[in-house]
Amino acid sequence: MTENRLLDIQNLSVWYKTYRGYAKVVDRISLYVGKGEKIGLVGESGCGKTTTMKAVMRTLDESAVHTPKGSRILFGGQDIVGMNSRELLELRRKHASMISQSPMAALNPVFTIGEQMLDVLKFSGLFDKKDKAGMKKAAHEAIRSVMIPDPERIMDSYPHQLSGGMRQRICIATCLLTPRELLIADEPGTALDVTVQEQIHKTLRSLVEEKHRSLIMITHSLGVARELVDRIYVMYAGHIVECCNARELFTNPLHPYAQGLLECVPRLSGGGLSAGIYGYIPSYVDPPKGCRFFNRCPDCRDVCRNEKPPSVEKSPGHTVACFNYV
């Protein structure tokens, strides 16, 4: 079973150093992605999705972060947490790539889009370094695949000359240039209108399916996750609270937080808007001892305040971390 896992995160914690002490954001989470599998990571803003994936790519500012002992991120069996800089370079160049949530930060403002895309191709090893025409053609195709016309003009533009949505699409196109075994897409459609968003999701899906790649899709939208991925992990305040098959989450959500999230999804059958989930994410500097959802939970009991709920498998492949099910 575990040999089919491309990425296997075990017991990962990530703490940020702040002037008030450690912000214990990601707290002992475990998740895995199989080879050729597509998974979704959903949860509200600030719950630690980007932090988790930056830990996988090791792009967090390591002087400002503490990763407690026992955290393991296995990629093809090798632990990313302990990789040296040469191994990390290899990982990012050949095996994993991430579409960033903030495209302005991912693009270099002083180089044109063309220079940046061609650089990626030059170092990918996919082309002979002198094959400029071949690389240019590949870049044009990638730009068209994210529904941007006139690739010539785009290649000559600097990032500030493009709209926010175009920059986001360029980041996606750049990742598509050199498909890796693992693609992490961090909210890849948030700045885009729905038709372009849908086209981009389709492009991502066909890329990973045709080439048998693995995908981690981070999204706020449960609807997007259901359409695109095989399994969904629901994250709340740095904990994984539930994980199951994407369709099962819609028909049989177990965790009160997942149930609340689903109630917020508008339905065609009507029924009005839900009240949402009352309250907000707790402080990470002084997080609750037990379940981090306890103060928003309709079923909260004493044990929830004092102990972290263990993750239990309620049915094959469907796990939940809640004392209601222990």
Residue 158 partner contact from ligand ATP, Mg ion, none using kind-dependent CB cut-offs of 5 to 8 Å: none
The residue written with tokens 């994993």 in the block is 96
Question: Which of 24/140 has CB closer to ligand ATP?
Answer: 24
Residues from 72 through 111 that contact ligand ATP (CB under 6 A)? 101
Q: How far is the CB of 261 from ligand ATP (least distance, A)?
A: 13
Residue 214 binds ligand ATP (CB under 6 A): no
Q: What is the dihedral of CA 311, 314, 319, 320, to 10 degrees?
A: -60
Backbone angles phi, psi at 79, to 5 degrees: -80, 115
Single-letter amino acid code for the residue at 240: I
Q: Which stretch binds ligand ATP (CB under 6 A): 46-54, 120-128, 145-153, 168-176?
A: 46-54
Could you give the residue ranges of the DSSP H alpha helices within the chain? 49-57, 85-90, 103-106, 113-124, 132-145, 151-156, 164-177, 194-210, 222-228, 246-251, 256-263, 302-306
Q: Which stretch binds ligand ATP (CB under 6 A): 48-56, 110-118, 242-250, 254-262?
A: 48-56
Q: How far is the CB of 94 from ligand ATP (least distance, A)?
A: 26
Residue 151 partner contact from Mg ion, ligand ATP, none using kind-dependent CB cut-offs of 5 to 8 Å: none
Residue 16 partner contact from ligand ATP, Mg ion, none using kind-dependent CB cut-offs of 5 to 8 Å: ligand ATP
Residue 45 binds ligand ATP (CB under 6 A): yes
Residue from 13, 33, 39, 48 touching ligand ATP (CB under 6 A): that is 48
Secondary structure of 138-198 as H, E, C letters:
HHHHHHHHCCCCCHHHHHHCCHHHCCHHHHHHHHHHHHHHCCCCEEEEECCCCCCCHHHHH
Q: How far is the CB of 319 from Mg ion (least distance, A)?
A: 23
Q: How far is the CB of 191 from Mg ion (least distance, A)?
A: 13
Residue 23 binds ligand ATP (CB under 6 A): yes
Binding marks (x or -) toward ligand ATP, 249..278, rule CB under 6 A?
------------------------------
72 strand-pairing partners: 10
Residue 270 CB partners (closer than 8 Å, separation 6+):
none
Question: Which of 48/189 has CB closer to ligand ATP?
Answer: 48
Residue 82 CB partners (closer than 8 Å, separation 6+):
none
Residues from 46 through 75 that contact Mg ion (CB under 5 A)? 50
Distances (CA, A) of 300 to 237, 257, 308: 16, 12, 13
- Which positions touch Mg ion (CB under 5 A)? 50, 101
- Which positions touch ligand ATP (CB under 6 A)? 16, 18, 23, 25, 45-51, 64, 101, 284
